[in-house]
Amino acid sequence: MQLDSLKRGARRASNNTVKPKTIVMVFDRLEASEGKASFFHGFDAITREPVVVRLNTIEEGLAVVGRLATQNREAALAKLKQQYVGSGEQGRPRPAHFVTVGNKVHCEKGGTLAFTRCLPNEDGSFRAHWAETLAPTAGTACDLVHANLSAEKFTVDGVVTHQVVADIVRPEKAVELTPEIAVPTVLATMASQREVNGELIGRSPFAILRLIDKSDGSQPEGLEPVRISPLRVPVEVVDHDGGGETRIVYRVASAEDSLKHLMAPGEDVKESRDMWAAKAMIYGLSKEPGYPTFKGAGADQTEALHQIVDAVRNGTHAVELIPGERIAAGKATKSGIVKQAYDQNGAPFAYHPIHMNYSPRDERGYVKARYFIPTYLTTEMSRNGSLMMTKFLAADHNTPKTTLRGLATGIQYAPEAGSALDQPEELAQADDAMPFDPTAINPDAEAGVDARLEQSAAALDAEFF
């Protein structure tokens, strides 16, 4: 009994220690002194507060490498030494590399650096397990968002290709829809353009609708959050670089056309389950009597959809809208992510824990969950005037994963993120149960955007957005 008590006490002490975190810095300068550690100076990319970071020593690294350090200290030290002072692709970049022109991690003033598994020093600075360049030059946007990364393989005209996108949601901007604001809010969320620095840029928006029981904040077990995406319409364009030939591309329609398509689609449109549920929620907020037509729905489905309309109309349930946006990966970024997506230990796997060659449904026919993780996302403007993703990084080593059902919003009745309902058992493992991972950001060339990926990108040149 005494030993058990000691173990529990030690466990509680461990849980009260400072957790390592990721710091993303807009780089200003590197201060190096002979015989001393070099310090990176800049400001936090999100909070804009000044921040100073150095890299761990090998001994300091033991605090953040996980369970292996407590089971076999010598093996952990050997592994860390190989990573920290080794050379080549597997070695941790030296501070001098970041200010050496021509080095693949070179970062100019105003560029963006990421430091993982950081712990505070007594002087107010931080020490980091690893460092990586997210953006080598100034001008790249970096944001902290809830994101899901998706790498999907499909065949077009016999050619295997991939689509890589980041779906980001903004639970902090969630709105409870009312009859007065329902349509204007949906239209604003689904707008196909937004203004950035005085210019209009294209975007691929979507909205998540959740039906919430006002009495306890719960969501119906049989109704998962509904995603509504904009209508895409064919547009004929002239390919001036391809000899002046015309081709058809699909563009995001206006918000008004997208809403009309949802509520009253044409006769040739096959309505989906999400279209039915979204139509029922929005119709319940209108002043229209009766029920809309749910084309293709069976008798039981129609009855359930009528119940949704009634629940919203009589005020027992609220409709919550969470705005979202899809951002496609740039060509070289897509190449690197695709290579990692085939590896269950690769970074993309955490966002969508199924191998891309596996069925997206389990043995019961249910769609397997996609996880939305707080993620640092860097973006740049593409040639066609829309944003493209250049790099991504999960915000913290112990970042909780959640599904769309479990996202917490600022609305009072909203479900708490991380509830037992939405956290699979394997996600509730203790932090020290994580496997030994000396590189929170994989230093392998396939994990980043570098010259080798640029060269290999030619094989993946299909553009989707």
> In this structure, are 127 and 213 located in the same domain?
no
In a domain, 270, yes or no: no
DSSP of 284-342, one letter per residue?
HTSS--S----TT--HHHHHHHHHHHHHHHTTSEEEEEEEEEEEEEPHHHHHHHHHHHT
Domain end among 109, 124, 139: 139
- On whether residue 250 sits in a domain, the answer given is yes
Is the domain of 246 the same as that of 378? yes
Co-location of 200 and 167 in the same domain: yes
Report yes or no on 305 lying in a domain: no
Query: Cα dihedral sign for 304, 308, 309, 314?
Result: positive
**What sign does the CA torsion over 77, 82, 86, 88 have?**
negative
Distance of alpha carbon 141 from alpha carbon 170, whole angstroms: 17
Helix axes 255-263, 182-189, angle to 10 degrees: 120
Rounded CA-CA distance 31/125 in Å is: 13
Integer Cα distance of 271 and 324 in angstroms: 22
CA-based nearest residue to 432, from 127, 63, 8: 63
- State which residues form the domain around 27: 2-139
Alpha carbon distance 231, 30 (integer Å): 49
Residues 118 and 187 in one domain: no
Q: Are residues 344 and 206 in the same domain?
A: yes
Q: Domain check: are 100 and 210 in the same one?
A: no
Check whether residue 36 and residue 113 sit in a common domain. Answer: yes
Region of 139 please: left (phi>0), alpha (psi -120 to 50) or beta: left
Counting the structural domains of the chain, the total is 2
Check whether residue 129 and residue 181 sit in a common domain.
no
Domain final residue, candidates 139, 154, 189: 139
Measured from the Cβ of residue 366, the count of other Cβ atoms closer than 10 Å reads 10
Residue 217 lies in a domain: yes
pLDDT score recorded for residue 349: 65
pLDDT of 16: 53
Q: Are residues 127 and 165 in the same domain?
A: no
253/362 same-domain check: yes
Residues 242, 99, single domain; the answer is: no
Please tell me whether residues 193 and 246 are part of one structural domain. yes
Domain boundary among 139, 165, 194: 139
Specify if 328 maps to a domain: yes
Q: What's the angle, vertex CA 175, arms to CA 169 and CA 176, rounded to 5?
A: 135
What local confidence, expressed as pLDDT, does residue 174 receive? 95
What was the pLDDT predicted at 82? Answer: 86
The CATH number of whichever domain residue 13 belongs to comes to 2.40.50
> Domain for residue 247, yes or no?
yes
**Residue 272 counted as domain residue:** no
Q: Judge whether 204 and 230 are in contact, CB under 8 Å.
A: yes
Q: Which residues of the chain have pLDDT under 70?
A: 1-16, 66-71, 88, 195-199, 239-243, 266-268, 341-350, 352-369, 397-399, 414-465
Asked if residue 167 is part of any domain, the answer here is yes
